[in-house]
Amino acid sequence: MPSFDIVSELDIQEVDNAVNQAKKEIGGRYDFKGSKAAIDWDRNAMTIHAEDDYKLGAMKDILLKRLHSRGVDIRALTFSEAEPEGGQMWKIPVKLVQGIEKEKAKEIVKLIKDSNLKVQAQIQDDRIRVTSKSIDTLQECIAMVKGSKLGIPVQFTNMRS
């Protein structure tokens, strides 16, 4: 039976490239000369450090611009509120969202079932497997999910006939 998977994944290499480009741009800007502004990055989360709100906002904008230009969907980032770090420093924790959470997966499955397409959707860990007898029906399902506003980036992988 033809099937495909709905996943929410990030290209970690592109995120790494975007973070490095943002660090380079911040290092070269005149308004950041002599500041302790930095971006820490570790495959699951990142933290933006700066002395004041202006620099935090500028760094966030630079990071978002670089991520977008590298083709990373910025809906996969969750920015927390700025919090004091100590020594007149502030930080913004940023979480990278990978995988589809259970509540969001249930919402997607309900959306698929309510569409009255002849497909079956199953939640498998952090992905959703959709099967049908017809590839055309699967393509209609892909178009319907792409057109819906889910709030998370989704990709369609593992298409089998």
Tokens (6 digits) for 36: 């302790």
Domains of the chain: 3-8+99-160 (3.30.70.860), 12-96 (3.30.70.990)
Residues in the chain: 161
Mean pLDDT of the chain: 90
Containing 141, the helix (H) or strand (E) segment is: helix 135-147
What pLDDT band is residue 63 in, cutting at 50, 70 and 90?
very high
Average pLDDT estimate for 3-13? 90
What pLDDT band is residue 85 in, cutting at 50, 70 and 90?
confident
- pLDDT for 1 beyond 90: no
Average pLDDT estimate for 10-27? 93
Residue 138's contacts (CB-CB under 8 Å, 6 or more residues apart) are 2, 3, 4, 119, 130, 132, 159
pLDDT for 13: 93
CB atoms within 10 A of CB 118: 12
Average pLDDT estimate for 7-25? 92
Average pLDDT estimate for 57-71? 94
- pLDDT for 23 beyond 90: yes
pTM score: 0.82
- pLDDT for 161 beyond 80: no
pLDDT for 31: 87
pLDDT for 67: 94
pLDDT for 66: 95
Residue 40: φ, ψ to 5°: -100, 140
